[in-house]
């Protein structure tokens, strides 16, 4: 999981609370418990997107487990029936249930 100080822009990889950037107006998002902050005003990128290289290798080197599934829904059903915290904000991009 990648995160930064809630409500602050990131500047050159440094925490903006130390570099003088202005805070981003944001509001909690998620139900039943808020688990993310979502900007409520336009946010200007610091620059163009930069290539990151081989994402599979980067994840493996960082010790992050990555699963590639043909069908997400059996896994998702187990997650939602468990006691772990979860967010499905990107599930709209998944293939429909079969």
pTM across the whole model: 0.47
Of residues 54 and 67, which shows the higher confidence score? 54
Per-position b or e across 31-58, b if 16+ CB within 10 A of its CB: eeeeeebeeeeeeeeeeeeeeeeeeeee
Question: Which residue's structure tokens are 């829904």?
Answer: 73
pLDDT tier at 21, thresholds 50, 70, 90: low
User: How do the domains of the chain map onto residue ranges?
Assistant: 1-43, 53-98
pLDDT band at 22 (very low <50, low <70, confident <90, very high): low
Q: Are 40 and 25 in contact (CB under 8 A)?
A: yes
């Amino acid at each position: 999981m990648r995160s930064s100080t809630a409500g602050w822009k990131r500047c050159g990889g440094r925490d903006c609370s130390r570099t003088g950037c202005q805070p981003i107006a944001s509001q909690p998002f998620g139900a039943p418990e808020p688990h993310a902050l979502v900007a409520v005003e336009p946010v200007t990128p610091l620059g163009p997107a930069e290539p990151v290289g081989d994402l599979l290798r980067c994840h493996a080197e960082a010790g992050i487990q990555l699963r590639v599934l043909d069908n997400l829904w059996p896994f998702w059903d187990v997650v939602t029936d468990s006691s772990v915290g979860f967010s499905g904000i990107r599930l709209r991009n998944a293939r429909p249930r079969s």
